[in-house]
Amino acid sequence: MINIMYLVLTALLAINISAEILNAFKTINESLEKTNAAVNASTSQIIASLAQKLNDPATRDRAAIWKPKADQVAGYAKETYDYIESLKKEIIAASTSGDQLKEDDQNATTRILVKEGKGKQLLEMLKKYKGSVLGTDTLINNSFANNFAVNLDPPKSQNSNKKTWEEAYFYMSPTVGALSILSKFQNDVRTSENKVVTFCHEQVGKVEVVFDSYAAIVGQNSNYLMPGQKIEIKAGIGAFSKEAKPTITIGGAVVPIGEEGFALKELDAGSVGPHTIPVTISYTNQNTGQQERKEVKVEYMVGQSNASVGLDKMNVLYIGVPNPVTIAASGGGDDRVKVSIAGGGGSLVKKGPGKYDAFVSSVTDECKINIDIDGKVSSFNFRVRTIPEAQAFIGGQPSGANINAGSFRAQGGVGAGIKNFPFELEYDVISFTFTCDTDDDIVSIPNQGAAFSSQVRAAINQYVQPGRMVTVDDIRVKGPDGRTNKAPSLVYYIK
């Protein structure tokens, strides 16, 4: 990419640089900065997973060897990345008059990076970074010495004039062009760091998703029952992993965890009056490695009223989905039961005797389902919540995965969804931006809808090859509740 940029610059030095050329550089720089952020997030996830390996007896010894090496590489990368960032800030400051950045200013870049020698310092910094990373471990050197992502070769000149490295890149380069070149070097640093840190993790084991927050989820089939009925309690944690199941007790007894990550127990409702059943959830916090414990009290009433209301999924009404509701009434047939809902923008659709679907549209803690039997009204309060935001993926693979080139080319587009949720939800990908590096440039293509457009498909067929990197960002996802949110960016390495 840098070679092409250089040729464009030198070809246009004799004339005024057009707005189109400057805008092209701005687009390239913005795309590189987005990619750098996505790759950095992937690296942070991998290092966090390595830290977790130190707490696992099965991987502790290997992690104790490779976690420090990954930290070393990350330290070298940060030092180099921050140095390049300081050069960008210095160039921006020198090219700014008042509040206006002169994007076509060629003097600031030439003075700072060529005449003052900071371009030569940049080259030495990049050489030092490459040498330090490869010197971290013999296996790292053997694996990356011939394909290290930081390319220190100067761009080819159009004439025979011998130029120094810094002159070849930065002499008479406009501000926006120099910023793009520096962003490309930052991208080289982030990419090489990510690949080496991933290699360190591969010497220990697979990457584990590290959750940074936890929430106890406890639901019950009803908060009002009749004598002789059963109360069903479902409990779990909001950040669930099959590799680290929590220990759950309901009413003092340990309950096994099901495939969906929830413990389910059915108890006798008991006698008339209020009741409380304690639920405890013990789990390992994947950030600290420490055991944590949450306690929740399930409260319900056993009474002699003529009706009860139970949510068939969870004891919360979710926006955008049909919430199954079961209504049991004693002392009156189904034809004598009148059901209504108030709060949360709710409505009810009858599906059969005692069976309804509740639809809600706004978050509230006060949504009441009212049951009228011959003028006797009973009210049952429920909370209304939004459904979780979705995560994007390609071919079922999470961000940071290594994907075979043929497998990637076989994919139809970008999908989105959420795991371990009691409802079957459909999320629609509205749009995204596809970015891939090419032989000497990068291609960045906006895409409407979930399916790859013809332009994206053509780029995939032409450029997605082993050794390349693909990023998908600006992912807009619409949930069944009608909300559109931005999903985290995706990064894939093609093998």
Q: Of the residues 263, 279, 303, which one is the last residue of a structural domain?
A: 303
Kindly state whether residues 196 and 241 are assigned to the same domain.
no
pLDDT at 244: 53
pLDDT at 460: 93
CATH number at residue 216: 2.60.40.10
Kindly state whether residues 58 and 198 are assigned to the same domain.
yes
At 216-251, the pLDDT tens digits run 555 555 554 544 556 666 565 555 555 556 788 888
Collapsed DSSP state (helix, strand, coil) of residue 322: coil
At 285-328, the pLDDT tens digits run 655 567 788 887 877 666 555 567 777 677 789 888 888 988 87
Kindly state whether residues 75 and 165 are assigned to the same domain.
yes
pLDDT at 255: 85
Q: Give residues with Cβ within 8 angstroms of 431, minimum separation 6.
A: 446, 447, 448, 449, 474, 475, 476
Q: Which helix (H) or strand (E) holds 223?
A: none
At which residue do the structure tokens 């790759």 appear?
39
Number of structural domains the chain divides into: 4
Q: Of 161, 150, 129, 190, which Cα lies nearest the Cα of 2?
A: 150
pLDDT at 213: 45
Q: Of the residues 178, 202, 226, which one is the last residue of a structural domain?
A: 202
Q: In what order do the strands lie in the sheet with 337-342?
A: 316-318, 376-385, 364-373, 337-342
Kindly state whether residues 281 and 323 are assigned to the same domain.
no
Collapsed DSSP state (helix, strand, coil) of residue 469: strand
Kindly state whether residues 30 and 170 are assigned to the same domain.
yes
Q: Give residues with Cβ within 8 angstroms of 364, minimum separation 6.
A: 343, 344, 383, 384
Kindly state whether residues 11 and 155 are assigned to the same domain.
yes
Containing structural domain, residue 167: 2-202
Residue 367 to residues 143, 220, 222, 422, Cα–Cα distance (Å): 60, 17, 15, 20
At which residue do the structure tokens 């009290």 appear?
297
Kindly state whether residues 176 and 218 are assigned to the same domain.
no
**Do 292 and 283 meet the contact criterion of CB atoms below 8 Å apart?**
yes
Q: Of the residues 364, 386, 408, which one is the last residue of a structural domain?
A: 386
Kindly state whether residues 410 and 482 are assigned to the same domain.
yes
Kindly state whether residues 357 and 434 are assigned to the same domain.
no
pLDDT along the chain (495 residues), means of 10: 42 46 56 74 85 85 90 93 92 83 82 90 92 92 88 68 82 82 88 90 67 52 53 57 69 79 73 78 68 78 63 81 82 73 91 88 91 77 86 87 91 86 84 89 92 94 91 92 88 91
The Cα 278–Cα 296 span in angstroms is 6
- pTM score over 0.75: no
Kindly state whether residues 38 and 141 are assigned to the same domain.
yes
Kindly state whether residues 192 and 78 are assigned to the same domain.
yes
Q: What is the DSSP string of 87-152?
A: HHHHHHHHTEETTEE-TT--HHHIIIIIISSHHHHHHHHHHHHHHHHHTS-HHHHHHHTTS-S---
Kindly state whether residues 377 and 426 are assigned to the same domain.
no
